[in-house]
Amino acid sequence: MDRAQKEKVVEELGQIFESSGVVVVAHYEGLTVAEMQDLRGRARDAGASVRVAKNRLAKIALDGKPCASIATYLEGMTVLTYSEDPVAAAKVVEDFAKDNKKLEILGGAMGETALDRAGVEAVSKMPSRDELIAQIASCIGAPASNIAGAIGAPASNIASILSTIEEKAEAA
Looking at the fold, whether 89 and 165 belong to one and the same domain comes out as: no
The yes-or-no verdict on residue 148 having pLDDT over 70 is no
**Contact present, 25 and 78 (Cβ < 8 Å):** yes
pLDDT at 155: 60
Q: How many CB atoms lie within 10 A of CB 144?
A: 9
In angstroms, what CA-CA distances link 108 with 87, 103, 132? Answer: 12, 14, 22
Domain final position from 92, 108, 126: 126
In angstroms, what CA-CA distances link 160 with 53, 72, 147, 166? Answer: 72, 73, 20, 10
pLDDT at 141: 66
Looking at the fold, whether 120 and 135 belong to one and the same domain comes out as: no
pTM above 0.95, yes or no: no
Number of domains in the chain: 2
Looking at the fold, whether 112 and 138 belong to one and the same domain comes out as: no
Q: Report the CATH number that the domain containing residue 42 is assigned in CATH.
A: 3.30.70.1730
pLDDT: which is higher, 61 or 133: 61
pLDDT at 82: 93
Q: What are phi and psi of 11, to 5 degrees?
A: -65, -45
Q: Which of 43, 47, 130 is nearest to 94 (CA)?
A: 43
> Containing domain of residue 106, as a range?
3-126
Q: Spell out where 22-131 has E strands.
A: 22-27, 48-51, 78-83, 104-110, 113-115
Q: What band does 146 get if pLDDT is binned at 50, 70 and 90? A: low
Looking at the fold, whether 32 and 81 belong to one and the same domain comes out as: yes
Q: What band does 58 get if pLDDT is binned at 50, 70 and 90? A: very high
Looking at the fold, whether 54 and 136 belong to one and the same domain comes out as: no
Q: For residue range 2-46, what is the model confidence (pLDDT) as tens digits?
A: 888 989 999 999 998 888 889 999 999 999 999 999 999 999 999
Looking at the fold, whether 53 and 82 belong to one and the same domain comes out as: yes
